[in-house]
A and B are shown apart, each in its own frame.
Chain A
Amino acid sequence: MADRETLLNETFVALADTLVGDFDVVEFLSMLSSRCVDLFDADDAGLLLADEHGHMQLAASSSHRMQVLEVLEVQHNEGPSPDAYRTGVAVQCPELREATERWPVFAAEAMAAGFRSAHALPMRLRADVIGALVLLCPAPGPLPERDIRAAQALADVATIGILHHRAAQESRLLAEQLEYALTSRIIIEQAKGIVAERLGLDVEQSYETLRRYSRQHNRRLVDLSRSVVEHDFDTGVLAEH
């Protein structure tokens, strides 16, 4: 196995790389979950992220059986991940046999899948908890302190990456809306000019004509204007309006 220190460092570098154009959250978190399996004494790792309503959703799993267990956590809202998400602190369960009351469905299914201990870390930036990272191990016992610290650090860096990506996406969306609104505004003015010229109207009358037509034909003014400007529309029919 590659030197653990090197692998850990490489993982941090990979996690910091969220500013690329084709960044994909699912791919990013899948990478994190498989790296966690390589780095720690866990057989499986998974990530859950909260949606805008605060409900946890599956984000990544290192295997199919992990995915099944994560689905259970989401459906029954019980298990180490929902607890870490709710409390914002690390959840350690060194012996799943002792967790059958706390997590009746999850503990039974996890043991049936061959796991004996479970550990979850919150994905948190200051007061903002966005999800959880869960590690499942075949042997009972606590996770070594240094592993917990390293896993939490990975979760922290991933959280910053995701929040950063979300902010960038939001600003990209707003910038597109702004661009559209600016261009629409201009196109309506241009269409007013074209119709005024073709029908011998002043721009006020021309605007009224376009508005009336768009209302009567249930077309948005900006779409009608765009057709006029792009010559896809016979302005002659407006004369009857």
Chain B
Amino acid sequence: MDEKRLTMLLRDRDEDRRAGADIGGRLCDTCAEVLDVSGAGIMLMSDGRHRGTFGVSNAVISVVEELQFTLGEGPCIDAYWSEHPVLEPDLGRPASNRWPAFSGPAVGVGRRALFGFPLRAGTGSLGALDLYVDRPGDLRPDQVSDAIVLADVISSTVLALQADAAPGTLAPALDAGLTHRAVVHQASGMVAAQLEMPVDDALVRIRAHAYTDGRPVNDIARDIVMRRLRLE
């Protein structure tokens, strides 16, 4: 990516910010295009947990985000924790079995190569940029260095959005990606009260139930909140 391209990208981003466009989604589209990959997604984390999605470039990448949210494992989660890029050129034949629960279903939906880049800010990360390619293969060195630059652009965008938010509240542009998961956290509260356990443990139970049933976490959570399902 040359300097001209980066300047254009930053200008577009600032215009989107002013216009209140789906800035996260647009950034993901740009990532997919510039990096020449099949899809890109941005995941936000706090206290070491997947909190929501800031943007996805297409419907397929949402499946990857969904899997990582459900299972609590995957390249993005590892990139966040390690604060280094996590590269898996062939999920079907991984060098090590890092993500036992994640790999099978991810390959099943056609995600062959996956790459996570931390969104670095301050002394840690605030999430990760997820890239997938539908055939196995390594990223070229120039793709890796561009992805690191784009991850920094995304971090600075997220922080700039949050800088404009009212104290203690989440910037509306970031909040949108969490609204989608609100029902999961409500369900965690209900299960925690029912089974008298901490909310984090309740979330693990809900995720496990979703995984066993092969259904999205949100569906299970909705059933719990509507009192159509009670975990034992």
Contact = CB atoms under 8 A, between A and B. Distances in A.
A230 B193 CA distance: 11
Contacts of A193: 185-193, 225
Interface in B14-67: 44-47, 51-52
B163 interface: yes
B214 interface: no
B79 interface: no
Nearest to B182: A189
Contact of A182 (B46, B122, B188, B190): B46
Interface string B185-203: 1111111111000010000
Interface in B118-177: 121-124, 126, 156, 158-159, 162-163, 165, 167-171, 174-175
Contacts of A173: 122
A116 interface: no
Nearest to A225: B189
A117 to B, nearest CB: 44
A194 B224 CA distance: 12
Interface residues of A, number: 32
Contacts, number: 112
B178 interface: yes
B34 to A, nearest CB: 23
A168 B159 CA distance: 12
B126 A179 contact: yes
A200 to B, nearest CB: 10
B175 A190 contact: no
A174 B199 contact: no
A100 B203 CA distance: 75
Interface residues of B, number: 38
Tell me if B's interface is mostly helix, strand, loop or mixed: helix
Interface in B87-125: 121-124
Contact of B185 (A168, A175, A189, A220): A189
Contacts of B124: 175
A189 B186 contact: yes
Contacts of A171: 121-122, 156, 159
A188 to B, nearest CB: 8
Contact of A172 (B45, B122, B174): B122
Nearest to B163: A174
A150 interface: no
A179 B47 contact: yes
Given A168-B122, A184-B168, A189-B182, A178 B189 contact: no
Contacts of A176: 122
A190 B165 CA distance: 22
B190 A196 contact: yes
A166 B51 CA distance: 28
Residue of B51, B168, B174, B175 ringed by the most chain A CB atoms within 10 A: B168
14 contacts: A171-B121, A174-B121, A181-B170, A182-B170, A183-B46, A184-B169, A186-B178, A190-B186, A190-B188, A193-B191, A193-B192, A194-B199, A196-B186, A197-B190
Interface of A: 21, 168, 171-186, 189-198, 203, 220, 222, 229
Closest 10 interchain pairs by CB?
A193-B189, A172-B122, A189-B185, A175-B122, A197-B193, A182-B46, A193-B186, A190-B189, A175-B121, A194-B189
Given A175-B122, A181-B174, 15 more contacts: A171-B122, A177-B167, A178-B159, A181-B169, A182-B45, A184-B170, A185-B178, A190-B186, A190-B189, A193-B192, A194-B192, A197-B193, A203-B225, A220-B168, A222-B168
